[in-house]
């Protein structure tokens, strides 16, 4: 008895069958047999199968008496003829990985599994590098054995292939597992039953099956023809049967997971095609879907992306007006395609269905933060409403969504239409938009474009042209693409005159792109041009074309090398670094160039205030800088001017780190101001660096050894930071932080005025009424992205909005989303570079582990510690230098409830914690005396006076 039988099914595929069979014969496991089943092919498939049978004793061939129409029945027949202890399935156009049978067998025997499943890889045979993508690879990252598929619902739900698996033959027979006859998606049903019947399923990360994908095949496969309605009907039918099966097995959780997949995957496949389908198709589609959607678990909607849930909900409601824009966003994730509606301080996809509680929850898109985006950051839907052409001129009209009135009625709006070749060429053609009308929730426009006369493509290399409408709203630009769907595009060709050659194309024709945007392509109106086109295509694909393309790629690679970091580093060290140092130059940087802030700023401002004679460079990262000083050279981090400035500067002043790979020359003095005292472990005290090898540690040490001076604000800094960075005593400057001078001075002024506090311009700017107490919430960094607020912001606004204004400042690597309901009561101040004015303004600080606590303490005002994840942060993170619970100069709490209790009884004048704050300042900020900037400038730059 062979160990493994591989059932190979074939239909009209004589040419590829031998390759599939050979992949079984070549297996590292010898004990295999091949059972070929031909689904009554019209070509030579069965003869080829018979030839293989004659040539190899391990091969047997069978044929169905008549064609069964799908892969299920041939596989059933194959199972019947199989003799091996295990069975696998292979399609005639695919192949098995060479170790597949051995790996499957080994796993099956070792774990006594009924089924073993491995990684399937789709290989795109028509691509240049045989592009591969792994089929749900996240399921196959590690070897694991399930005693029920309910342990891993994702497997049941997503991996519905029958071919990347190995089944114990007795298991198939005992459970009467067969493929449904003559049905599309036959795998789905079979595999669902198999998963549920299996007592043990083992997953292995090995590749086992190569699914060959031929994108340009003439006969499209089943899955490519999904726009056919019958396909959808089959799909729903299979889903209903599987749902019934799950019901029988009492697997409610699995059903929920399956519903999630239906919303995320099955429905999306069909929804994306809707804009291209006609009215009757849509009606039928909605009709079919409505019933099935009604049976979905409501919880499933909360486990998919908001736009997926919105589409499903609107489809079920048959609300086409809102659904079609939603599908636009489903296809283009960044696009905002609905006008949106604000109700009771929340943002909804549309104003309809809000009386339905379920609808309300689905349509609530507040957390997506649309309402916080300025118009230039929005990608707005622009639906083409009219298209006509005559005499080479195209008339276009469209409707642009105006979400939440981001374009106000009195805004100055201008517009233009831009034609740009998709493959980058030198040319862009711009036409004016004739009229723009503000219609409340929409802005409508129309334009006349004289394409024949004005658009001059080159020809051949720029055959596809994309169209954009660019709006200018009060000076802010926003790009839109034209969504084609409902409106009919004219079929007319417009004559154009390509500059290079008119042999191939002399007309341009509109079409929707695969994702539904308007584009134009060059075509030929004359028939014989096709032959020339073919001729040129042959040249492009043939040897000369290949050579030209290879040359182009090499040129591109060369350009990449020349602009690479490696080249820049050589330039820095070997060219710029050999130029003489420019006396009286300083390069300033704060937070890796992200801000104009902190101690480097304080030192810079002190130098300017003293009127010193020097040349200043400020480093910035990201887009063109705002809020950076006008009287300094602004250099983009990593740019050549930046590297040149650094290489030649007499001083570096920074609070974090210049690029690690830049060595500092000895003539340059590096003043490292650092950006905060430490609670959590830093430098070589961090587990990550401790675990590193000596060589890795030495490399890190090299970066730190660049510092010539290191600022400390207490002996705590000396014990922690200085030790952790292994900075020798002589480099330490015990002068305090220049950025904190302003805090010390503020407190001194307040003390002098008997505690009277001046609220500066910032309070007015933020619109804070005089009678409100200002709280500043500054949590520390955890993970990048949106910071999830640890309390309900709306509830806070409701309960405490009459007493407090809460300023939220996320870490500079985070951002926050606040609901409109909290407007005026909770204010996002994360975008402000300089935290100092915020601290000066705040009557109370709320933080967790952020170093802002050490600075704010200088103001001697109340501090609250909201340490909602204390255990995780302290024990699972890198560890802390001291126990916050013991040292915190204010209440420490972990829950929203405690937070509210503290707020209820909070009295700014209460000095219960005043003693603790004094001790805290003495321990962590003894050198902050308000004179740090002055001391630094006196020490290093006093000779630079004019």
Give the footprint of another protein on this chain (CB under 8 A): 3, 28-31, 97-100, 102-103, 105-106, 109-112, 141-147, 151-152, 202, 204-207, 681, 686-694, 875-876, 878-879
Q: How far is the CB of 119 from another protein (least distance, A)?
A: 9
Q: How far is the CB of 151 from another protein (least distance, A)?
A: 6
CA dist 10 → 79, 457, 757 (Å): 15, 48, 86
Q: Supply φ then ψ for residue 701, to 5 degrees.
A: -60, -35
Q: Which of 852, 943, 927, 941 is nearest to 653 (CA)?
A: 941
Q: How far is the CB of 257 from another protein (least distance, A)?
A: 11
557 Cβ contact partners less than 8 Å away, ≥ 6 residues apart: none
Q: Is 28 left (phi over 0), alpha (psi -120 to 50) or beta?
A: alpha
Q: Which is nearer to another protein, 124 or 200 (CB)?
A: 200
Q: How far is the CB of 201 from another protein (least distance, A)?
A: 10
Q: How far is the CB of 32 from another protein (least distance, A)?
A: 10
- Element (DSSP H or E) covering residue 189: helix 186-197
Q: How far is the CB of 107 from another protein (least distance, A)?
A: 9
Q: Which is nearer to another protein, 345 or 877 (CB)?
A: 877
Q: Which is nearer to another protein, 30 or 802 (CB)?
A: 30
Q: Which is nearer to another protein, 105 or 818 (CB)?
A: 105
Q: Which is nearer to another protein, 118 or 180 (CB)?
A: 118
Distance of CA 52 to the CA centre of its chain: 50
Work out the angle between the directed axes of helices 306-317 and 279-294 (0-180°, nearest 10). 110
Say how far apart CA 380 and CA 701 lie, in whole Å: 49
Q: Burial, 942: exposed, middle or buried (Cβ in 10 Å; 0-12, 13-18, 19+)?
A: exposed
Q: Token digits for 484? A: 């084609």
Q: How far is the CB of 207 from another protein (least distance, A)?
A: 6
**DSSP secondary structure letters along 392-444:** TEEEEEEEEE-GGGSS-TT--EEEEEEEEESS--S-EEEEE--EEEE-SSEEE
First-to-last alpha carbon distance for the chain, in angstroms, is 98
Check if the beta carbon of residue 431 is closer than 8 Å to that of residue 452: no
Say how far apart CA 656 and CA 683 lie, in whole Å: 12
CA dist 771 → 352, 502, 802 (Å): 39, 75, 9
Q: How far is the CB of 780 from another protein (least distance, A)?
A: 19
Q: How far is the CB of 678 from another protein (least distance, A)?
A: 14
Q: How far is the CB of 876 from another protein (least distance, A)?
A: 8
Q: Which is nearer to another protein, 265 or 690 (CB)?
A: 690
Q: How far is the CB of 143 from another protein (least distance, A)?
A: 5
SS3 916: helix
Q: How far is the CB of 93 from another protein (least distance, A)?
A: 21
For residue 336, what is the DSSP state? E
For residue 718, what is the DSSP state? I
Q: How far is the CB of 502 from another protein (least distance, A)?
A: 49
Check if the beta carbon of residue 198 is closer than 8 Å to that of residue 166: no
Q: How many CA atoms lie within 13 A of 853 on its CB side?
A: 29
Q: How far is the CB of 220 from another protein (least distance, A)?
A: 30
Place of tokens 């056919």: 228
Check if the beta carbon of residue 382 is closer than 8 Å to that of residue 483: yes
Q: Which is nearer to another protein, 491 or 693 (CB)?
A: 693
Q: Which is nearer to another protein, 137 or 563 (CB)?
A: 137
Q: How far is the CB of 106 from another protein (least distance, A)?
A: 6
Say how far apart CA 211 and CA 226 lie, in whole Å: 19
Distance of CA 561 to the CA centre of its chain: 28
- Element (DSSP H or E) covering residue 325: helix 320-331
Q: Which is nearer to another protein, 692 or 789 (CB)?
A: 692
Beta-strand ranges (E) seen in 250-369 are: 335-336, 341-343, 346-348
Q: Which of 676, 679, 654, 677 is nearest to 664 (CA)?
A: 654
SS3 167: strand
SS3 863: strand
Q: Which is nearer to another protein, 524 or 697 (CB)?
A: 697
Q: Which is nearer to another protein, 152 or 413 (CB)?
A: 152
| Dihedral sign of CA atoms 672, 675, 681, 683 in order | negative
Q: Which is nearer to another protein, 230 or 694 (CB)?
A: 694
Q: Token digits for 535? A: 């001729």
CA dist 227 → 276, 517, 659, 698 (Å): 10, 19, 52, 61
Q: Which is nearer to another protein, 97 or 654 (CB)?
A: 97
Q: Which is nearer to another protein, 112 or 344 (CB)?
A: 112
Q: How far is the CB of 723 from another protein (least distance, A)?
A: 11
| Dihedral sign of CA atoms 346, 350, 356, 360 in order | negative
Q: Which is nearer to another protein, 204 or 473 (CB)?
A: 204
**DSSP secondary structure letters along 557-593:** HHHHHHTSHHHHHHIIIIIGGGSPPPTTEEEEESGGG
Check if the beta carbon of residue 479 is closer than 8 Å to that of residue 453: no
Q: Which is nearer to another protein, 686 or 931 (CB)?
A: 686
């Amino acid at each position: 008895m062979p160990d493994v039988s591989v059932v190979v099914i074939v239909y009209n595929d004589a040419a590829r069958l031998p390759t599939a069979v050979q992949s079984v014969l070549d297996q590292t496991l010898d004990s295999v047999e091949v059972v070929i089943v031909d689904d009554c092919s019209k070509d030579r498939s069965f003869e080829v199968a018979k030839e293989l049978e004659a040539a190899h004793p391990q091969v047997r061939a069978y044929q169905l008496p008549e064609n069964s129409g799908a892969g299920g029945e041939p596989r059933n027949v194959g199972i019947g003829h199989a003799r091996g202890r295990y069975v696998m399935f292979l399609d005639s156009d695919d192949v098995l990985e060479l170790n597949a049978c051995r790996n499957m067998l080994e796993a099956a025997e070792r774990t006594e599994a009924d089924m073993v499943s491995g990684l399937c890889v789709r290989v795109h045979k028509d691509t240049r590098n045989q592009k591969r993508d792994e089929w749900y690879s996240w399921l196959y990252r590690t070897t694991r054995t399930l005693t029920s598929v309910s342990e891993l619902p994702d497997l049941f739900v997503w991996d519905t292939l029958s071919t990347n698996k190995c089944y114990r033959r007795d298991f198939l027979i005992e459970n009467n597992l067969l493929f449904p006859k003559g049905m599309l998606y036959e795998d789905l049903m079979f595999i669902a039953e198999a998963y549920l019947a299996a007592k043990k399923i083992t997953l292995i990360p090995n590749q086992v099956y190569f699914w060959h994908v031929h994108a340009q095949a003439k006969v499209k496969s089943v899955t490519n023809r999904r726009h056919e309605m019958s396909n959808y009907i089959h799909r729903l039918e299979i889903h209903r049967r599987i749902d019934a099966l799950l019901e029988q097995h009492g697997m409610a959780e699995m059903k929920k997971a399956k519903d999630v997949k239906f919303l995320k995957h099955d429905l999306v496949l069909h929804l994306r095609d809707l804009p291209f389908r006609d009215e009757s198709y849509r009606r039928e589609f909605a009709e079919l879907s409505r019933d099935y959607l009604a049976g979905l678990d409501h919880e499933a909607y909360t486990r998919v992306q908001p736009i997926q849930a919105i589409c499903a909900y609107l489809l079920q409601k048959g609300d086409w007006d809102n659904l079609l824009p939603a599908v636009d966003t489903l296809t283009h994730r960044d696009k905002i395609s609905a006008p949106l509606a604000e109700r009771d301080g929340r943002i909804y996809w549309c104003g309809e269905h809000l009386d339905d509680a379920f609808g309300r929850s689905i349509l609530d898109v507040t957390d997506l933060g649309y309402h916080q985006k300025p118009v230039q950051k929005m990608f707005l839907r622009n639906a083409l409403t009219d298209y006509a052409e005559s005499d080479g001129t195209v008339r276009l009209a469209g409707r642009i969504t105006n979400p939440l009135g981001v374009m106000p009625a009195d805004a100055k709006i201008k517009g233009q239409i831009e034609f740009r070749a998709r493959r980058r060429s030198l040319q862009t053609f711009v036409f004016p938009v004739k009229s723009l009308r503000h219609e409340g929730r929409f802005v409508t426009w129309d334009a006349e474009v004289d394409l024949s006369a004005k658009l001059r493509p080159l020809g051949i290399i720029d055959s596809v042209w994309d169209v954009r409408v660019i709006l200018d709203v009060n000076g802010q630009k926003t790009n839109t693409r034209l969504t084609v769907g409902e409106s009919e595009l004219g079929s007319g060709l417009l004559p154009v005159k390509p500059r290079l050659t008119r042999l191939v194309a002399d007309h341009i024709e509109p079409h929707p792109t695969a994702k539904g945007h308007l584009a134009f392509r060059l075509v030929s109106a004359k028939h014989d041009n096709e032959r020339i086109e073919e001729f040129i295509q042959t040249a492009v694909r043939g040897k000369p074309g290949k050579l030209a393309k290879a040359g182009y790629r090499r040129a591109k690679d060369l350009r990449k090398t020349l602009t690479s970091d490696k080249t820049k580093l050589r330039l820095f060290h070997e060219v710029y670094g050999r130029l003489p140092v420019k006396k009286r130059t300083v390069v300033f940087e704060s937070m890796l160039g992200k801000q104009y802030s902190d101690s480097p700023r304080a030192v810079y401002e002190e130098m300017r205030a003293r009127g010193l004679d020097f040349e200043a460079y400020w480093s910035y990262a990201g887009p063109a800088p705002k809020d950076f000083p006008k009287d300094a050279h602004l250099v983009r981090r990593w740019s050549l001017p930046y590297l040149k400035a650094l290489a030649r500067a007499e001083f570096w002043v920074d609070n974090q780190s210049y690029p690690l790979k830049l060595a500092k020359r000895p003539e340059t003095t590096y003043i490292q101001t650092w950006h905060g005292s430490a609670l959590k472990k830093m430098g070589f005290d961090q587990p990550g660096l401790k675990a590193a090898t000596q060589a890795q540690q030495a490399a890190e040490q090299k970066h730190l050894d660049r510092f010539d001076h290191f600022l400390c604000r207490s002996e705590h800094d000396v014990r922690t930071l200085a030790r952790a960075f292994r900075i020798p005593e002589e480099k330490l400057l015990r002068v305090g932080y220049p950025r904190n001078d302003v805090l010390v001075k503020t407190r001194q002024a307040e003390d002098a005025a008997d505690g009277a506090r001046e609220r500066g311009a910032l309070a007015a700017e933020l619109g804070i009424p005089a009678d409100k107490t200002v709280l500043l919430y500054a949590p520390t960094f955890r993970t990048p992205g949106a910071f999830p607020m640890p309390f309900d912001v709306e509830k806070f606004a409701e309960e405490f909005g009459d007493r407090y204004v809460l300023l939220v400042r996320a870490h500079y690597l985070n951002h926050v989303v606040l609901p409109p309901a909290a407007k005026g009561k909770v204010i996002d101040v994360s975008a402000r570079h300089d935290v100092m004015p915020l601290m000066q303004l705040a009557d109370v600080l709320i933080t967790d582990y952020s170093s802002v606590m050490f600075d704010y303490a200088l103001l001697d005002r109340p501090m609250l510690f909201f340490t909602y994840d204390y255990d995780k942060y302290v024990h699972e993170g890198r560890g802390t230098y001291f126990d916050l619970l013991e040292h915190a100069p204010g209440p420490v709490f972990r829950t929203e409830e405690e937070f509210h209790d503290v707020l209820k009884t909070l009295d700014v004048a209460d000095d219960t914690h005043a003693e603790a704050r004094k001790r805290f300042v003495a321990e962590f900020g003894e050198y902050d005396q308000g004179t740090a900037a002055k001391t630094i400038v006196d020490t290093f730059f006093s000779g630079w006076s004019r």
